[in-house]
Amino acid sequence: MSFVCIILAITGFIVVIMYWGRARAGTRMLSEKNILAHWKYSPGEWQDYSEKDFRMERRDKWALFRLVMIITAVVVVGFWLFHRDSGTLMIGMFLGLGILLGSVILLTTSYDHWQNNKYQGEVYITRDGAYIGRKLHLWRGWGATLDDVSYDEPNRLLLMTYSMPSRTGRDSATARILVPQGQEEKTREIVTELAKAEGLASSDI
């Protein structure tokens, strides 16, 4: 029990430090110092973006869900074939994992969508990250890196793909930023500047 309490205390301390760091980074971003861009959107423009982002986010997360469940199913079948006693337990864990992951996907995507619809549409972009609506993306600090930046001109989306350390290796995420009308050239400058600063290969601009 003492060991568990120590582990929980250490974990809690690390989490507090990480979120404190994220809060400071977010505050610096909103101070409009050293920003690459600060864009505000009309209600109609932001609504269209919100719906598109919701569909893409949900599609990506359900694709990852299917991949995880397929890999888990293979493991479960192996246990069922060679260790029947453990196999029964694994089936229960498989079902529980599916319910847990599915619930997390539904809750997180729905919450982000609700946030986008509730608040004014605006974006801050810096070399360290982006604040999109009410969602903070950071690709600097705690081992995070910006892995790719590009401009999807047909869909008017500035795409930043970044990754951060996790217990299973590195988790990857993509920040999708709507480019307002008239900001196309500015967007290309941002792509070039970030790619150069991070030492990335040439991106589509």
What confidence tens digit (pLDDT) does each residue in 10-46 have? 544 344 444 445 555 555 666 656 788 889 998 888 8
Report how far residue 116's alpha carbon sits from residue 104's, in angstroms, rounded to the nearest whole number: 18
The CB-side HSE value for 107 (13 A sphere, CA atoms) comes to 6
For residue 151, give both structure tokens. Answer: 């401009």
Task: Specify the pLDDT at position 84.
Answer: 66
What confidence tens digit (pLDDT) does each residue in 84-122 have? 666 677 777 888 888 888 898 888 888 888 877 787 788
The answer to whether the beta carbons of residues 187 and 151 sit under 8 Å apart is yes
The answer to whether the beta carbons of residues 180 and 168 sit under 8 Å apart is no
The residue with greater pLDDT, 140 or 203, is: 140
The answer to whether the beta carbons of residues 193 and 184 sit under 8 Å apart is no
3-state secondary structure 137-156: EECCECCEEEEEEEEECCCC
What confidence tens digit (pLDDT) does each residue in 135-179 have? 888 887 667 888 999 999 988 999 989 888 766 667 788 889 999
What's the one-letter identity of residue 114?
W
Angle, helices 43-82 vs 84-118, to 10°: value is 180
For residue 163, give both structure tokens. Answer: 């990754």
What's the one-letter identity of residue 15?
V
Which conformational region is residue 141 in: left (phi greater than 0), alpha (psi within -120 to 50 degrees), or beta? Answer: left
3-state secondary structure 153-180: CCCCEEEEEEEEEECCEEEEEEEEEECC
